Amino acid sequence: MLEKLMEQAEKEHRLDKDSLVRLLGEPEAEEALAAAADRVRKKFVGDGIHLRGLIEFSNICRRNCMYCGLRRDNGKLERYRLTEEEILAMAEQAKEYGYKTVVLQSGEDAYFDVPRLTRILRAVRNLDLAITLSIGERSYEEYKAFREAGADRFLLRLETTDAALYEALDPGMSYENRVRCLRDLKDLGYEVGTGTLVGLPGQSLASIAEDILFYKKIDADMLGIGPLIPNGDTPLGGAAPGDFHLTRRMVSLLRLLLPEANIPATTAVETMVRGGREIILASGANVVMPNVTEGEYRRKYALYPGKVCVRDTPADCRGCMERRIQAMGRYIAEGKGFRIRRKDHVRGEICQGDPAV
Give the interface with ligand SF4 as residue ranges (CB under 6 A).
Answer: 61, 63, 65, 68, 70-71, 107-108, 136
User: Which residues are CB-neighbours of 4 under 8 A, at least 6 positions away?
Assistant: none
Q: Which is nearer to ligand SF4, 108 or 210 (CB)?
A: 108
Q: Which is nearer to ligand SAM, 159 or 278 (CB)?
A: 159
The least CB distance from residue 177 to ligand SAM, in Å, is 12
CA distance 262 to 251: 11
Query: Cα 228 to chain center, whole Å?
Result: 13
Residue 202 backbone class (left: φ over 0; alpha: ψ -120 to 50; beta: rest): left
The least CB distance from residue 106 to ligand SF4, in Å, is 7
Q: Which does 304 bind (CB under 5 to 8 A by kind): ligand SF4, ligand SAM, none?
A: ligand SAM
Cβ atoms of 77 and 58 within 8 Å: the answer is no
* DSSP per residue, 90-103: HHHHHHHTT-SEEE
CA distance 266 to 287: 9
Residue 13 backbone class (left: φ over 0; alpha: ψ -120 to 50; beta: rest): left
CA distance 9 to 39: 12
Q: Which is nearer to ligand SF4, 136 or 227 (CB)?
A: 136
Q: Which does 56 bind (CB under 5 to 8 A by kind): ligand SF4, ligand SAM, none?
A: none
Q: Which does 117 bind (CB under 5 to 8 A by kind): ligand SAM, ligand SF4, none?
A: none
Q: Which does 268 bind (CB under 5 to 8 A by kind): ligand SAM, ligand SF4, none?
A: ligand SAM
Closest to 215 (Cα-Cα) out of 172, 246, 152, 260? 260
Q: Which does 71 bind (CB under 5 to 8 A by kind): ligand SF4, ligand SAM, none?
A: ligand SF4
Q: Which does 231 bind (CB under 5 to 8 A by kind): ligand SAM, ligand SF4, none?
A: ligand SAM
The least CB distance from residue 166 to ligand SF4, in Å, is 11
CA distance 130 to 143: 16
Q: Which does 134 bind (CB under 5 to 8 A by kind): ligand SF4, ligand SAM, none?
A: ligand SAM
Q: Which is nearer to ligand SF4, 81 or 336 (CB)?
A: 81
The least CB distance from residue 160 to ligand SAM, in Å, is 10
The least CB distance from residue 83 to ligand SF4, in Å, is 20
| Site residues, ligand SAM (CB under 6 A) | 67-68, 70, 105, 107-108, 134, 136, 156-157, 159, 197, 226, 228-229, 231, 268, 303-304
CA angle 164, 170, 176 (to 5 degrees): 55
Q: Which is nearer to ligand SAM, 107 or 259 (CB)?
A: 107
Please classify residue 297 by burial: count the beta carbons closer than 10 Å to its beta carbon, then call 0-12 exposed, 13-18 middle and 19+ buried.
Answer: buried
Q: Rg for the chain (alpha carbons), in Å?
A: 19
Please classify residue 50 by burial: count the beta carbons closer than 10 Å to its beta carbon, then call 0-12 exposed, 13-18 middle and 19+ buried.
Answer: buried
The least CB distance from residue 269 to ligand SF4, in Å, is 17
Q: Which does 208 bind (CB under 5 to 8 A by kind): ligand SF4, ligand SAM, none?
A: none
Q: Which is nearer to ligand SAM, 106 or 286 (CB)?
A: 106
Q: Which is nearer to ligand SAM, 170 or 219 (CB)?
A: 170
Q: Which is nearer to ligand SAM, 189 or 232 (CB)?
A: 232
Question: Which DSSP symbol is given to 341?
Answer: -
